[in-house]
Amino acid sequence: MVEVTPASETVFFDYVTAAEVHDAADHERKAFPPDEADSPEQFRYRYTHAGHLFLGAFVPSPSQPKGRRLVGHICSTQSPLTYYTKESMSVHVPFSASICVHSICLLGSYRRKGIGMKMIREYLSRIRDYCSSEELVSKGKPERVLLLTHSDVRPFYEKAGFACTRKSDVVLGTGVWYEMCLDLKADSIYM
């Protein structure tokens, strides 16, 4: 049976539930080469420790228990360091200064339709809301969002407001990684 891709307007965003983490890991495995794809264990760790940073893109799907199907995701953890490290991929330090994005991915048939840009903007908007919460005034607000990318995807992140800070030292799979940073301190939430 040929699967029909629903129109991009039907895509909506919400936090991923425990039952959907497996699908996110499966999408990751399909989207990235084996030496770059994060493991299902890493996905479960991120969901358990940093569920507030694990956003999904969904389409309505009445046959599924929650009436929706995961078609993309963004997930992160937090680190006290000002730059992206491999360790940040498996350790979450709550209330620390850097939000390190580890995976952004859409199923193939949902790409290049503007959904990825909507998803990252929604993610950043939710991070700004989170930074504005009373709880963080005493515990510490994140100051930046960091991620690594190969050079071909840099334009996507630049359009979302990130700037390239340097060539990263992180070795993961093959090819050069560039570190991208979005400075939250420049936002009105800090003023």
Ligand X SMILES: CC(C)(COP(=O)(O)OP(=O)(O)OC[C@H]1O[C@@H](n2cnc3c(N)ncnc32)[C@H](O)[C@@H]1OP(=O)(O)O)[C@@H](O)C(=O)NCCC(=O)NCCS
For ligand X, the binding residues (CB under 6 A) are 31, 104-106, 111-117, 149, 152-153, 155-156, 159
Q: Which is nearer to ligand X, 80 or 108 (CB)?
A: 108
Q: Which is nearer to ligand X, 21 or 74 (CB)?
A: 74
Q: Which is nearer to ligand X, 80 or 173 (CB)?
A: 173
Residue of 70, 71, 90 lying closest to 19 (CA atoms): 70
Q: Which is nearer to ligand X, 10 or 133 (CB)?
A: 10
Both ends of the chain: CA-CA distance in Å?
54
**Least distance in Å: CB of 101 to ligand X?**
9
**Least distance in Å: CB of 70 to ligand X?**
13
The Cα-based distances of 169 to 32, 35, 39, 45, 134 in angstroms read 20, 16, 21, 24, 36
CA 51 remoteness from chain centre: 11
Read out DSSP for 32-56? Answer: S-TTTSPPHHHHHHHHHHHGGGEEE
Quick check: 184 and 128 in contact, CB under 8 A?
Answer: yes
**Least distance in Å: CB of 45 to ligand X?**
19
Residue nearest to ligand X (CB): 116
**Least distance in Å: CB of 94 to ligand X?**
25
**Least distance in Å: CB of 90 to ligand X?**
18
Report the distance separating Cα 80 and Cα 183, nearest Å: 15
Residue of 62, 71, 64, 81 lying closest to 16 (CA atoms): 71
Q: Which is nearer to ligand X, 50 or 75 (CB)?
A: 75
